[in-house]
Amino acid sequence: MRYLPNSCLVFFFLFFSLFHNLSCASTEKELGWCQAQFQCGNITAGFPFSGGIRPQLCGHPLLELHCFKNTTSIIISNNFYNVHNIDQTSNTLRITKAELQSSFCNGTFTTATLPPEIFELLPAYKNLNVFYLCDSKLPYRSSYTCPGRGPVSVSQNLDYQNSCQGSFTMNVPKSYVPEEKELNLTQLENTLKEGFEVKVKIDEKACQECSSSHGICGFENTKQVCCNEASSSVCNTFHPSNGKFLNYQTSSLTSYTEIENLYSP
């Protein structure tokens, strides 16, 4: 095995130690920012969200908020959603697919899937099927002709999947019932602009336990962690099976040890 000269090793470890110390200091500063709130327009949010002055490690990777012109948005399954409201007491969000905020016919006509591991559609809402590029020779209930897409039909069933070339689903209140004859496009667009509500599936008790011990709630990838305010090198990861936090070293120290071992005789 090749060995580096002693002078190179000394320089290497001095450089890496400096980098490691800067990394830890940076992480401590970021952890401090976890105590701040995301703010945009009338939206305020803390754990388990990140965004704004809250670094990514402060929230779940799928719950990063963005702010543009006082409008809050979130990216879900590569789709932009406008966030109308966040109720952190019930852990619910009211969101609207951004492209459906304007003309229904100008949408992409694709199903936007909610990741089930983090989002749950509230019981007051349902999936609605939209069929497009349909055979114009056949009659359809609750239909409307969109330019370039031919007859578009909205249905709670899958009754037109054989006579239409495309379809997708969208979320609407259970109170919304498609018309028997011509689709009232204005009513549908107004319904979509109101948005729908989802529940965020995060264990709030774990963060409460962390905060009560003067820790800072955050995430290591998708794992919920509790970091000590005085140290960025040691955090505790929450173990759902027994409701306890388990101690572990952060990845920055692990990588340092691995590199040190690589150059050891």
- pLDDT (tens digit, 9 = 90+) per residue, 78-106? 999 999 999 988 999 999 999 888 889 98
* Residue in the structure block whose two tokens are 């990777």: 61
Evaluate the omega torsion of the peptide bond into residue 48 and state whether it is cis, within 30 degrees of 0. Answer: yes
Say what the alpha-carbon torsion angle 77, 79, 82, 84 is, to the nearest 10 degrees.
-30
Q: 212: helix, coil or strand?
A: helix
Q: 249: helix, coil or strand?
A: strand
pLDDT at position 215: 85
What the block records as the tokens of 241 is 């099976």
Whole-angstrom distance, CA of residue 240 vs CA of residue 25: 30
> How do the domains of the chain map onto residue ranges?
6-37+203-259, 77-125+173-200
Which residues are CB-neighbours of 177 under 8 A, at least 6 positions away? 156
pLDDT of 117-145, one tens digit each? 999 999 999 999 999 988 888 888 888 98
Entry pTM:
0.74
